[in-house]
Structures are given as structure tokens and as C-alpha cells.
Amino acid sequence: MLYGILKSTNAGETWDTVMQVTTSNPTNLFTPDIRHGWAAASGKIYRYDYVTPVSIQPISNKLIQFGEAFTYQVEATGMGLKYTMSGNPAGLTIGYRTGLMAGTPTQGGSFPITVTVKDTDANVVNTQFSLRVNRQPVFITNINDTVYTQFNYLYEQILEAEDIDDDTLNFAAIIIPSFLTLTQESSSSIYTATVQGTPTEADTGYHNIKIEVNDGYGGSDTISWVLCVDNVTGVKDNQEIFEFSLNQNYPNPFNPVTKIKFTIPASPKSSPKERTFVQLIVYDLLGREAAVLVNEEKQPGVYE
């Protein structure tokens, strides 16, 4: 039997004596290897593992919105674990010793990510999951903050939206007056919807409109505007107005309530819906401004 300092170069199949000690009854076996257990019996040296086998918990698929920070703690067991990953978007990293994934991805799309864990014995396990960094849809229609129409005329506004992830888009009316409807028109790369309806004289005034488009993955965009239904009293068939006019208020100005009638002309070469900026201001006897009655664009017609 060999006693002393021993060395094996073939994974323990055979052993050579580095330093021999003469003894007939060895009682202890010493080794600098702290990762395994060692024992001597029946003229042989045995090594056994007491390191917990490395393992990793599965990771479910994840979804975040573009620009949103992502954090996830990888759960694994074993000794001296080291973590790496591949397939991740730029901006997302994993702690080499902690296994904490963190960061704000600077790329959008779906990413198949592989997380790998290695222990002190170089045993390796891994798991895969998909991270979707969802990019929100956007409206590509430009609308003025305030839009004008007349009662008893059809109002129509076409909306367009697109999605860089090529998701299926859906429109929804968040705020819309009762005389308007929202209809989705198409489902190509550019999605369109139409807001339309015919207001009545009872709908005269200002109405807030807010429409949302969403991609089904938590991404959305909204567009808002104000629809003003003008109180045009009308222009008779074949009647044309070619000059501005401001009638005397009725009843007389000493009444608590009074009406002021005015007309806005249309150029013979202009569209009947071409708008003119109108400002109607009331002053007192001393020339001081008392009230601004009109301060907006209006279509040709008769107003009061």
C-alpha cells in the first residue's frame, strides 16, 4: 500500500507517490480539495461529491413596453454559481454572480433568450424564454386642435395608424358625442378608421373627441380634438353672400339678453367650406372691452 502524498493523472484510475511515508497503519487522509469528500479503505482512495447539483428554475415568457425597465431574478441552486445569457436585446444585462437580469432594452421586438448557469465543478444547466419588447402603435393622422362643421351637414374624419411590430390594431372611442360613430375600415399595414355623423341644431357647440388605437399587447396611442358645430342659421338655395355684415342687436342693448346677427361672405372662387377668421368684440360706452363673443375661424354663412 502507498502512504504519503499521492497524485493521479488519469482521474483516479492509478496513483503515483509524490512523497512516501513509511507507516503500517494510516489513520487520516488529507486533501486541499474542499469541493469533494475523500476516503481511504481497503488499499484504495475514494472521492465522493457533496456539492449540491446545479439546477435552474424555468422562466416564463415576458412582456414589457418599449422604454420600460425590466428586472428578473434567476432562481438557481448549486455552489459557486456563475450566470451568463445570450440572445438578449441591447440594454439588458445579467449579474455574473447574482443572476439578476436588469436594464432598459434599447431594441424592440421578440428575443429568444438563453440563460446559462455554471457551478464550481463546471456543471452547466440552462433555460430559455422569450422576452417581447413591445413597440406601441402610433397615429399618423394630423388633426387641428379644434375642427369646425355645420349642423345638418355630414362630418367625417379619417384616422390612420401604424405599428412597427406589425401587430393587429383596433380602434376604440374613449370620448365621442352621441351623433358620431367610429368605424374601423381596413387591416393592412396602415390601419384606418372613420369618425362620422350628422349633427343637428341641438348639437351646436363644442364636443371633445378622443380615439385610442391599441395593439393587443398593452401598447396604445390616443388622438384628441374638439369638434365645433357652428350655429349657422343657413343660406337659402342659390343665395350668395359676398360681403360682411353686422346687424343691430335685438332686442335693444339695455336688455339683459340680446342677439347679434352677422354674415360671413364667400369668395366666388373659393370653396363653400373655406373658413375666415372672425373676431366679434363688445365694448361699453367708454370704449372699454366688455366681452369677446367670437374669436375663431368660421365658414361662410349667417350667424346669430
What whole-number distance in Å separates Cα of residue 136 and Cα of residue 212? Answer: 12
What whole-number distance in Å separates Cα of residue 186 and Cα of residue 174? Answer: 20
| Residue of 135, 97, 90 lying closest to 113 (CA atoms) | 90
Query: Does some domain include residue 240?
Result: no
Which residue, of 102, 134, 166, is where some domain finishes?
A: 134
Q: Does one domain contain both 129 and 142?
A: no
Which residue, of 202, 230, 258, is where some domain finishes?
A: 230
Domain count, the chain: 4
DSSP class of residue 202? G
Query: Does some domain include residue 239?
Result: no
Which residue, of 230, 264, 280, is where some domain finishes?
A: 230
Range of the domain at 197: 138-230
What is the chain's pLDDT, residue by residue, as a tens digit (304 residues)? 555 566 666 656 677 766 555 555 555 656 665 555 666 666 666 655 556 789 999 999 999 999 999 999 999 999 889 999 999 999 999 999 999 999 999 999 999 999 999 998 889 999 999 999 999 999 999 998 988 888 888 999 999 999 999 999 999 999 999 999 999 987 778 999 999 999 999 999 999 999 999 999 999 999 999 999 987 554 444 455 667 777 666 555 555 666 777 777 766 555 545 667 788 787 877 888 877 777 777 777 777 7
DSSP class of residue 270? S
Count other Cβ atoms within 10 Å, centred on residue 135.
19
User: Cβ(167)–Cβ(217) under 8 Å?
Assistant: yes
With vertex at residue 176, the alpha carbon angle to CA 175 and CA 179, rounded to the nearest 5 degrees, is 165
Q: Does one domain contain both 113 and 175?
A: no
Query: Does some domain include residue 282?
Result: yes
